[in-house]
C-alpha cells in the first residue's frame, strides 16, 4: 500500500511491494454465489456447505429435479463456467482463506477445501496462481496467526 499520495511504500501492510519470481498478478474475481434462479441459489448454498463431498452433474440434477441439459444450461448461464470449474474455484477460494488465516498443514487444507489429495490441490493451485500454496501462505498470511 502506498502512503502520502503514492510517494512511498507503507511497510505496515505486510505485503511486499513486488511479486516474487514468476508469480502471476492476482485479482480475485468472486465466483457466482447468487443468481435470479432460486434453484441455482439453493444449489450454491448446498455446494458451499458440502465442498468436501464428491459431486456429479447427475447427482445434482436429481437433487434439483432437472434434466442434465437444463441443469448445465442454467448453471453455465448463472456462473459462466461448468460445474467442475466452479467447484475447483470454490475449493481454491476456501484454500486461500485457510492458507491466509490458519497454520494448518497443506494436506489438511487440501482436505478441508474439498481436494481429495494434496497433489491435486497443489496442481490446481499452481496452475491458477503460478506459485505454490506454501509461497502463497508466506506472502499473504495474516501476521498474528
Q: pLDDT digits over 33-51, tens only? A: 567 788 888 999 999 999 9
Q: Which cell numbers hold the place of 90?
A: 470454490
Q: Identify the three-state secondary structure at position 107.
A: helix
Please state the domain extents for the chain: 35-80, 83-145
Using pLDDT thresholds of 50, 70 and 90, give the confidence band for residue 19: very low
pTM: 0.75
pLDDT of residue 28: 52
Residues with Cβ < 8 Å from 123, sequence gap 6 or more? none
CATH code at 83-145:
1.10.10.60
- For the chain, give the mean pLDDT: 83
* Helix, strand, coil % in the chain, rounded to nearest 5: 55, 5, 40
Q: What is the mean pLDDT of residues 64-85?
A: 94
Amino acid at each position: 500500500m502506498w502512503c502520502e499520495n503514492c510517494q512511498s511504500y507503507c511497510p505496515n501492510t505486510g505485503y511486499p511491494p513486488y511479486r516474487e519470481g514468476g508469480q502471476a498478478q492476482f485479482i480475485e474475481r468472486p465466483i457466482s454465489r447468487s443468481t435470479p434462479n432460486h434453484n441455482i441459489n439453493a444449489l450454491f448454498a448446498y455446494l458451499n456447505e458440502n465442498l468436501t463431498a464428491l459431486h456429479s452433474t447427475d447427482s445434482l440434477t436429481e437433487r434439483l429435479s432437472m434434466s442434465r441439459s437444463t441443469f448445465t444450461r442454467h448453471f453455465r448461464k448463472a456462473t459462466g463456467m461448468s460445474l467442475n470449474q466452479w467447484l475447483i474455484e470454490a475449493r481454491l477460494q476456501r484454500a486461500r482463506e485457510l492458507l491466509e488465516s490458519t497454520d494448518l498443514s497443506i494436506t489438511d487444507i487440501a482436505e478441508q477445501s474439498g481436494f481429495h489429495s494434496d497433489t491435486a490441490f497443489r496442481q490446481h493451485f499452481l496452475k491458477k496462481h503460478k506459485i505454490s500454496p506454501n509461497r502463497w501462505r508466506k506472502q499473504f498470511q495474516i501476521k498474528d496467526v
